[in-house]
């Protein structure tokens, strides 16, 4: 049996004898000349001899990828392998398109309709952090993570680095093979990166990991990032995710395990994660931005303190600027005291202004998104009436379309969250928890929208009775998704500001053991 195994093994092995100084050298040099500049042939040959001698001494070996890596580290420029060159071109083209799409997140509309932007103060420290390895970009919704990431990608390209830029919300995939097909690659993305030669680090940039919202795509991008990190090749990873989703995502915390590289830009909730926390505008940053647009500057400076505070969130600044630009008259923001009210104001101007048909079309799109557990929907799965209204909302900037209009998605995830709260989570029925059951597995997808619905209830009456009634009902219901319950408990701790805000809950909870347990959960 051992002899048979050895014989079968020998059938798989070919031994080729090469005389490095004889006639074989001419053949080898002729072959090498096909993939490098003629002036580099001798250097390549010498480098290969050196690598072979080193491996013979160590009783080791190497494969094609290791050989190409060795040569590029010696400063030898190799032509892209023919079987991977078309895939590399596809990734470069896709990354360029993604870069153009993400640039919008770092800019606002100016007085003349043009886009204006500034370089965020956090970008230089982040660039410094990249030198030491992979980084996760975190921050609250609307803080400007995508804009910062786009700026980082642009700087890396300007420095001559190879960059592959992916926006998670532009894919609807369940496997890495599905990602390969959507990109139109002949080989897997990881294979292409492994065979993409370069003397310096390349960067895989993944925007909006939270866009998967717990769907099947989450495992795909986790696996992609893990494969690239484990390979320990020249490709490094920088990705963005909302702080809320990182709290829920144990695996992402593990993938980016390490100490925060920038102490002044870290979130104390993640002491063992290599992350950089993107803050909202500093007053200096906002001042630099508004100095380029007179109307926005005037609107913010003359607004109540609450709106000035809201304007420090880049996403809110963008909404305010768009509302100002699209209105022929001055807009009165004096009644706006929260992000929910700002979004309501935006909704009234951009969606409700086009009638119930427009709002109904939003609900139809959301239904497809919830059904597929994704933040985008297939345009041609919608009926003709919905598509007609949808085109109006794309022009208004509420939605964006992609891939020859085959897909549609909200231009920002916060708009998705608010739209869910407007069209699915009716405040008066919130306590029923119709969409929140564990078996629906929609916790990550709906939790941010619940915040908007509860905020609506909180603001409707001074006693906050309906807010507390709905919150208690949901927190006491063991069938409700635990992510939803956790989010509600946090909201219940954040909203009260005075002792009077708690009067209603005191009345509801007095005297029963079950409700006392609920009170403990809220605290």
Percent of the chain with pLDDT over 90: 47
In whole angstroms, what is the distance from residue 438 CA to residue 478 CA? Answer: 9
Q: What is the mean pLDDT of residues 153-166?
A: 92
Say whether pLDDT at 523 is over 60: no
Say whether pLDDT at 522 is over 50: no
DSSP assignment of 400-435, as one string? EEETTTTEEEESSHHHHHHHHHHHT--GGGGGG-TT
Q: What is the mean pLDDT of residues 96-120?
A: 88
Q: What is the mean pLDDT of residues 275-294?
A: 94
Q: What is the mean pLDDT of residues 21-34?
A: 70
Q: What is the mean pLDDT of residues 326-334?
A: 75
Q: What is the mean pLDDT of residues 293-304?
A: 90
Q: What is the mean pLDDT of residues 205-230?
A: 88
User: DSSP assignment, residue 278?
Assistant: P
pLDDT computed for residue 503 by the predictor = 84
Q: What is the mean pLDDT of residues 472-494?
A: 91
pLDDT computed for residue 218 by the predictor = 85
What's the mean per-residue pLDDT of the chain? 86
Pairwise pLDDT comparison (157 vs 521), residue with the higher score? 157
User: Quick one: pLDDT band at residue 203, thresholds 50, 70, 90?
Assistant: very high
Q: What is the mean pLDDT of residues 394-400?
A: 92
Asked if 88 and 79 count as a contact pair (C-beta separation under 8 A), the reply is: no
Asked if 480 and 436 count as a contact pair (C-beta separation under 8 A), the reply is: yes
Highest mean pLDDT among 43-47, 217-221, 344-348, 500-504: 344-348
User: Quick one: pLDDT band at residue 35, thresholds 50, 70, 90?
Assistant: low
Say whether pLDDT at 516 is over 70: no
78-87, 144-153, 296-305: least confidently modelled range? 78-87
In whole angstroms, what is the distance from residue 143 CA to residue 280 CA? Answer: 5
> Whose structure tokens read 């931005």?
289
Asked if 474 and 433 count as a contact pair (C-beta separation under 8 A), the reply is: yes
pLDDT digits 0-9 by tens, 420-430? 999 988 877 78
Q: Which residues contact 362 (CB under 8 A, 6 or more apart)?
A: 351, 393, 398, 419, 422, 423
User: Quick one: pLDDT band at residue 83, thresholds 50, 70, 90?
Assistant: confident
pLDDT digits 0-9 by tens, 433-476? 888 888 888 888 898 899 999 998 898 888 888 899 899 999 98
Say whether pLDDT at 481 is over 50: yes
Q: What is the mean pLDDT of residues 83-99?
A: 92
pTM, entire model: 0.81
Q: What is the mean pLDDT of residues 103-127?
A: 90
Residue count of the chain: 523
Q: Which residues contact 427 (CB under 8 A, 6 or more apart)?
A: 453, 456, 457, 460, 466, 470
C-alpha 198, offset from chain centre: 26
Q: What is the mean pLDDT of residues 212-219?
A: 78
User: Quick one: pLDDT band at residue 17, thresholds 50, 70, 90?
Assistant: confident
pLDDT computed for residue 249 by the predictor = 80
Sign of CA dihedral 467, 473, 478, 479: negative
pLDDT digits 0-9 by tens, 349-378? 999 999 999 999 999 999 999 988 888 899
User: Quick one: pLDDT band at residue 34, thresholds 50, 70, 90?
Assistant: low
Say whether pLDDT at 72 is over 90: no
pLDDT digits 0-9 by tens, 170-186? 888 889 999 999 999 99
pLDDT computed for residue 518 by the predictor = 46
pLDDT computed for residue 520 by the predictor = 44
Pairwise pLDDT comparison (443 vs 82), residue with the higher score? 443
Q: What is the mean pLDDT of residues 12-26?
A: 73
Nearest to 176 by CA among 248, 237, 225, 242: 225
Pairwise pLDDT comparison (332 vs 438), residue with the higher score? 438
Q: What is the largest CA-CA distance in the chain?
A: 97
pLDDT computed for residue 449 by the predictor = 92
What is the phi/psi pair of residue 109, to 5°? -80, 135
């Amino acid at each position: 049996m051992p002899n048979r195994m050895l014989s079968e093994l020998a059938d798989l092995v070919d031994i080729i004898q090469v005389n490095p100084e004889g006639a074989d050298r001419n053949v080898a040099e002729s072959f090498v000349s096909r993939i490098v500049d003629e002036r580099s042939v001798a250097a390549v040959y010498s480098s290969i001899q050196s690598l072979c001698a080193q491996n013979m001494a160590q009783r080791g070996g190497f494969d094609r990828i290791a050989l190409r890596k060795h040569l590029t580290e010696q400063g030898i420029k190799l032509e892209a392998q023919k079987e991977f060159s078309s895939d590399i071109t596809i990734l470069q083209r896709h990354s360029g398109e993604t870069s153009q799409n993400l640039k919008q997140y770092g800019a606002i509309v100016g007085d003349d309709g043009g886009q204006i932007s500034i370089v965020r103060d956090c970008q230089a420290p982040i660039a410094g952090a990249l030198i030491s390895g992979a980084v996760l970009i975190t921050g609250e919704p609307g803080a400007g993570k995508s804009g910062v990431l786009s700026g980082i990608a642009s700087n890396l390209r300007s420095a001559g680095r190879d960059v592959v830029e992916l926006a998670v919300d532009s894919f609807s995939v369940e496997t890495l093979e599905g990602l390969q097909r959507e990109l139109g690659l002949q080989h897997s993305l990881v294979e292409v990166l492994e065979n993409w030669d370069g003397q310096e680090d390349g960067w895989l940039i993944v925007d909006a990991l939270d866009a998967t919202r717990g769907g099947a795509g989450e495992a795909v991008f986790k696996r992609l990032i893990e494969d690239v990190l484990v390979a320990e090749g020249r490709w490094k990873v920088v990705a963005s995710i909302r702080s809320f989703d990182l709290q829920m995502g144990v695996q992402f915390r593990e993938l980016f395990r390490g100490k925060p590289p920038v102490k002044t830009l870290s979130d104390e909730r993640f002491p063992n994660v290599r992350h950089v926390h993107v803050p909202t505008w500093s007053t200096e940053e906002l001042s630099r931005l508004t100095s380029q647009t007179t109307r926005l500057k005037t609107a913010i400076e003359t607004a109540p303190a609450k709106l000035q505070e809201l304007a420090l969130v880049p996403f809110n600044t963008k909404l305010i600027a768009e509302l100002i630009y699209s209105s022929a008259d001055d807009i009165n923001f004096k009644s706006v005291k929260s992000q929910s009210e700002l979004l309501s104001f935006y909704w009234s101007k951009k969606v409700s202004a086009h009638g119930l048909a427009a709002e109904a079309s939003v609900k139809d799109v959301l239904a497809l998104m919830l059904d597929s557990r994704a933040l985008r929907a297939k345009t041609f799965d919608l009926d003709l009436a919905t598509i007609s209204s949808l085109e109006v909302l794309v022009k208004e900037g509420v939605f964006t379309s992609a891939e020859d209009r085959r897909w549609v998605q909200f231009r920002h995830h916060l708009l998705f969250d608010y739209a869910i709260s407007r069209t699915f989570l009716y405040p008066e029925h919130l306590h029923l928890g119709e969409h929140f059951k564990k078996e629906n597995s929609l916790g990550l997808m709906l939790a941010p929208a619940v915040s908007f619905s509860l905020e609506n209830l909180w603001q409707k009456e001074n006693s906050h009775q309906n807010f507390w009634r709905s919150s208690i009902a949901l927190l006491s219901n063991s069938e409700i998704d635990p992510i939803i319950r956790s989010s509600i408990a946090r909201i219940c701790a954040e909203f009260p500001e005075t002792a009077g805000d708690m009067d209603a809950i005191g009345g509801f909870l007095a005297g029963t053991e079950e409700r006392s347990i609920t009170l403990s959960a809220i605290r």
